[in-house]
Amino acid sequence: MLRASAAVERAGYPTVSIVSTGFLKQAEVVARGLGLPDLPIAHYPGVPMTDSVEQLQSKVEHELIPQLVKGITAHDVARLTPAAPPEPAPRDIVFRGTLDEVGEHFYSNQWSDGLPIIPPTLDRIERFLGYTDRAADEVIGICPPDNREATVWNIAVTGVIAGCRPEYMPLLIAVVEAVTDPEYRMQDAGSTPGWESLIVVNGPIVKDLDFNCGASVMRVGRQANTSVGRFLRLLLRNMAGFRFAPGAGDKGSIGQSFLVALAEDEDSVRQIGWQPFSADRGFKAGDNIVTVQSVVGISPPVYTGSEKAVEHARILAEVIGGSCAYWSPVGIAYGKWHPLLLLGPSIAKVFAQEGWSKDDLRKYLYDNVKMRAHDAERYAYYVGLTDFSLADKVKQGIVPPVYHESDDPERLIPVFQKPEWIGIVVAGDPGRNQSKGYCSNHVQGPPVSKPVRLPGNWQQLIAKKQS
C-alpha cells in the first residue's frame, strides 16, 4: 500500500495510508526507503482481524476517519527525503578493537544475527575478491526496502562476516543476483508470514565447495551449507533492512529460520536417470546454478516404505499435501505458488525404477491432493483476504475453472494449482526412507535461478586450495 501511495504522491496528489499498530514501525522503514519519510499515515489501533464488528466500526468512526480527513486536507504533498549523510567509503576503517570488542560493536549496531562474526578486515575482503573477475564497485542489485546497493565489495564483506570461505564468492554473487531480481520481491521478505529464503545449489560447484547433499543435508555443520545460508540472512538484515528490533522492517509474526543452503545430490539423480532440479528450471544438467525461493512452512518428516511407487506417492500426498493445504488459498488468491518436494535418494530411486518421471509424480500430487472449497475461503479470510472468493478468482482468470465448477461448499478443489509449479529436489540420507515438503509464499519469493559465473582461472584456484 505504501508503495502505491508513494507513486500517487509523486504524481502530485495527497494520500493517507491506513496502518494498524503492529505495522507502524515497518511503515516508517518502508516510507524512508521510498524517499518519503513524511508519508501521511492513519493509525488503526490494535488488530483488525481480532476486533468485533462493533469495535471495528467504532475505531473507523472515531479514530480513522478524523485522521483520514486531516491527512488529505492538511498536508502538502510529501517531500523527498533530504540527502542522507555520506557513509564510509569501502576501504575506510570504521572501528578498531579486540575480537570481542568488534563483535560487541556489530551486535550493538544490529549488524550481526546474534552469533559471533568474523571481522571484515581489508585483507580478508581482498581474498574474497580474488575469486571473481568482477570489479569491486560493480553493483549487482538493489536491496529494498532500504534500497542499498549490493556491490561486489559489500557482498565480500558480508561473506566474511558470515564465516564463508573466499572461494564461495562466485556463488554468493549469484545468490544476490537471484534475490535482487525484481521477480523475487525482496521488499516483502519482512512480511507477517515470516517466510525465509531457501537456497538450492546445483552443479559441479557442489563438490568444488564441499557442500553436503547427503545425511543431515538441512542441518548446520558443513561450512559451505551453513555459512552460505547465513550470508543471505545477513544480507537481508544489513542491506535490505530486515531487522526485528524496534523501528526495523521485519514483521514476521513468529518467523522461522534457515541457517543452511540445500545442495542437490546430483550423483543420485544421474544414477536413477532423472534430470536435476536446475534442468527443471531451464538450464542444462551440469551447469552451476543457484535457485532461491521463499519457504513459509515445512511438513513433518515423511517416512514411506514400499517397492511400489504409488504407495510412496500416496503417503507424500497425504502428509505433504495436508501440510500445504492450509496455505494453498493464499497462492490461489495471488495466482502463484511454488511448493517444493525434497525426496530422499532411496525414495526417488523407487519412482524411477517403476518408470515414474518427475512429471508423473507432480501429476499424481495435483490429481490426488484436494481440499474443500469452503475451507479454502475460510482459511483465506483468516489470513486477511476478507473478500476472497473462488468464483471471483475464476472469473478474473487467476485460476482455472476447476476451482469453481459449482457453488457446493463441500466440493473438492486442487491444493496444488499447477503440476509444473511443484519443485522436486533429491537430497538427504540415501540410507533412509525420508522426504519433506516446503510451502512457498505465493508471489513473494517465487523461485528465481541464476548461473554461477566463475572466474577464468577457477580450476587453478580450486586445485591450489585443495592441494
Q: Write the burial class of residue 272 (CB in 10 Å: 0-12 exposed, 13-18 middle, 19+ buried).
A: middle
Q: Mean pLDDT throughout 5-26?
A: 67
pLDDT for residue 255: 61
Ranking 35-44, 163-172, 315-324, 408-417 by mean pLDDT, the lowest is 35-44
pLDDT for residue 40: 77
Q: 3-class SS at 200?
A: strand
Average pLDDT along the chain: 88
Nine-digit cell at 77?
Answer: 504533498
165 band by pLDDT with thresholds 50, 70 and 90: very high
Q: Mean pLDDT throughout 324-342?
A: 93
pLDDT for residue 9: 64
Nine-digit cell at 245?
Answer: 528490533
Could you tell me if 94 and 79 are in contact, meaning their C-beta atoms sit under 8 angstroms apart? no
What gap in Å lies between CA 211 and CA 228, rounded to an integer? Answer: 10
Task: For strands 434-439 and 423-426, give the pairing.
Answer: unpaired
pLDDT for residue 212: 95
Q: 3-class SS at 345?
A: helix
pLDDT digit string (tens) for 409-425? Answer: 999 999 999 999 999 99
H or E stretch at 302: strand 302-303
Does 81 score more than 80 pLDDT? no
Could you tell me if 364 and 357 are in contact, meaning their C-beta atoms sit under 8 angstroms apart? no
How far, rounded to the nearest angstrom, does the alpha carbon of residue 127 sit from its chain's CA centroid?
29
Nearest 5°: CA angle at 319, between 411 and 399?
A: 40
What gap in Å lies between CA 152 and CA 143, rounded to an integer? Answer: 13
Q: Mean pLDDT throughout 245-258?
A: 59
Q: Mean pLDDT throughout 217-229?
A: 94
Residues of the chain with pLDDT > 90: what percent?
A: 68
Domain residue spans of the chain: 2-74, 91-271+450-467, 297-439
pLDDT for residue 314: 97
177 band by pLDDT with thresholds 50, 70 and 90: very high
pTM: 0.85
pLDDT digit string (tens) for 90-116? Answer: 899 989 999 999 999 999 988 998 899
What gap in Å lies between CA 109 and CA 133, rounded to an integer? Answer: 32
34 band by pLDDT with thresholds 50, 70 and 90: low
Q: Which residue is listed with cell 466500526?
A: 57
pLDDT digit string (tens) for 61-77? Answer: 777 778 777 767 765 55
What gap in Å lies between CA 30 and CA 164, rounded to an integer? Answer: 30
User: Which residues touch 120 (CB under 8 Å, ≥6 apart)?
Assistant: 156, 157, 160, 161
Nearest 5°: CA angle at 175, between 171 and 176?
A: 120
* 118 CB neighbour count, 10 Å cutoff: 16
Does 28 score more than 70 pLDDT? no
Could you tell me if 289 and 450 are in contact, meaning their C-beta atoms sit under 8 angstroms apart? yes
Ranking 49-63, 186-200, 229-243, 273-287 by mean pLDDT, the lowest is 49-63
pLDDT for residue 116: 93
Which is more confidently placed, 38 or 124?
124
User: Which residues touch 76 (CB under 8 Å, ≥6 apart)?
Assistant: 14
What gap in Å lies between CA 45 and CA 24, rounded to an integer? Answer: 10
Could you tell me if 186 and 444 are in contact, meaning their C-beta atoms sit under 8 angstroms apart? no
pLDDT for residue 397: 93
What gap in Å lies between CA 248 and CA 221, rounded to an integer? Answer: 30
pLDDT for residue 16: 76
23 band by pLDDT with thresholds 50, 70 and 90: low
Strands (E), 125-267: 139-143, 148-151, 196-202, 262-263
